[in-house]
Amino acid sequence: MKEFKKQNHIYKTEALLNQTTGLVCEKIASNSETPWLVPTANMLKKWLSIFPSGQFVINDEFGEPVSIQMFTKINWDGDIQKLSADIKAKGIKEAFVPDGNTLVMWVETNPLGYIGTDLQLAFVNNAKYLGQKEGGEHILCLLKPSEYGIQKAKNPDVKFWEYCQKNSGEGLSPTEWLSDFEESGIKIIKPAYKACQIDNITLGISLNEIYEKYINSYKPELWGKGDDLLSLTTPDGGVWYLDPDHEPKAVYVGDYVWGMIF
């Protein structure tokens, strides 16, 4: 167990195990800003079967799980322009390179009440720890700016990358999710449009549950209609696309940003 402490906040990073994933997912989803992005137990077990040493749960000082930190490995020559958003969309099985020189981290869950509490520092420190252990040349990450959807609801004309650049760097509020990552040592380098693509069937929920579990219970005032009658915008800036040709299927699509630790 790796422990990180700063400003009296303690986070303990533990390796995920198959027998713990179900309970971990349920607890994290119940306290997440984006519960539709919390991976299921089956998804995590798949990751564990491919890259077991790269999957972690972050617990708070009371031993309660607050987030999941996942890694894959790729080969990358350092050229930022070659970074493709489909690394995440492919999933770990397709994207994973066993002898890859670069770790890629993503954190799917922004827990309620933990922004500004040095949680991001725990993520970054653990990434560095794993990087030393794996001997990689680079550590990259895919991050979800959690407040973009709120700003877009206020101003529909705001563009994703413009928002991320405006809310990036010196002078940022310490409560911003992206800012806390930067203060912890991550450099935001590039947008990753449509990096997240996941359907409700993979998540194990019906179309009705999307409404019951998400729309009616999580910031209902910030959900809206997309560009057509078959899409719903979410509070985090993503979109659920309903698929009438494959009912009852719906696909969530969300934009991320690329970050670099080294």
Q: pLDDT in tens for each of the 262 residues of the chain?
A: 444 444 445 778 888 877 678 888 888 888 887 888 888 888 888 889 999 999 998 888 888 888 889 999 999 999 999 998 777 666 666 789 999 999 999 886 677 766 656 888 889 999 999 999 998 899 999 998 877 888 888 888 888 888 887 755 544 443 467 778 888 889 999 999 999 888 888 888 888 888 777 887 778 888 887 777 678 888 888 998 887 676 678 899 999 999 999 8
| Alpha carbon distance 95, 189 (integer Å) | 20
Q: Write the DSSP symbol of residue 37.
A: G
| Alpha carbon distance 16, 40 (integer Å) | 13
Of 153, 152, 130, 149, the residue nearest 141 (C-alpha): 130
> Can you name the residues that pair with 231 across neighbouring β-strands?
241
* Residue 12: predicted pLDDT: 82
* Cα distances (Å, whole numbers) of residue 164 to 146, 157, 168, 190, 200: 10, 14, 6, 10, 28
Name all domains of the chain by residue range, CATH numbers in brackets. Answer: 2-198+254-260 (3.40.630.30)
100 φ, ψ (degrees, to nearest 5): -60, 150
CB 105 within 8 A of CB 71: yes
